[in-house]
Amino acid sequence: MSATNMKFGVIIVRGFEEYIDANLMPLIDKFINMGCQSQNIVVRTVPTLHDVVIATQFFAQYTDVDGVVILAPENRVMGTLSLMNGIVQIQIQWNMVVAIGGAERADDIVEMIAMQNEMEMAAPDSVARGNFS
């Protein structure tokens, strides 16, 4: 799977320092090894887990990233219904691929973005393209 010409947003949450130390550089290295240029990886830190929803919205609305990785323990995010509801709403509204977890999610997000790009290219011209707002 190639991440060439892809741009990623990475949200890190203060309070998960051990998780971030174990996963941030491996995630970035994995993206780079898959062909992503380092300047196409945008990392932002949020104060609390609750802030990942608005930070994901910021990435969708104010940047040209293809997808966002929420670098936090998957069970902590997915175990919080209100967070997951917000994230799913952003995914649907903005057509934004979002992955939750650590470096192991690099392959998943690249695969989903590649699928999205392939389907967009194959779509009939009458289909609306791009982010929905």
SS3 77: helix
Q: What is the mean pLDDT of the chain?
A: 92
Going through the chain in order, the beta strands assigned E by DSSP cover 8-13, 41-46, 67-71, 97-101
pLDDT value at 116 more than 90: yes
CB–CB of 42/9 below 8 Å? yes
| Interval 85-109 mean pLDDT | 95
Backbone φ and ψ for 59, nearest 5 degrees, come out as: -60, -45
Confidence of residue 131 (pLDDT cuts 50, 70, 90): low
What whole-number distance in Å separates Cα of residue 4 and Cα of residue 36?
A: 5
| Interval 16-40 mean pLDDT | 96
Comparing 15-24, 36-45, 122-131, the range with the smallest average pLDDT is: 122-131
What whole-number distance in Å separates Cα of residue 18 and Cα of residue 14?
A: 10
CB–CB of 12/20 below 8 Å? yes
Confidence of residue 19 (pLDDT cuts 50, 70, 90): very high
What is the pTM (predicted TM-score) of this model? 0.88
Q: Which residues does residue 99 pair with via DSSP β-bridges, in sequence order? A: 69
pLDDT value at 128 more than 80: no
pLDDT value at 133 more than 90: no
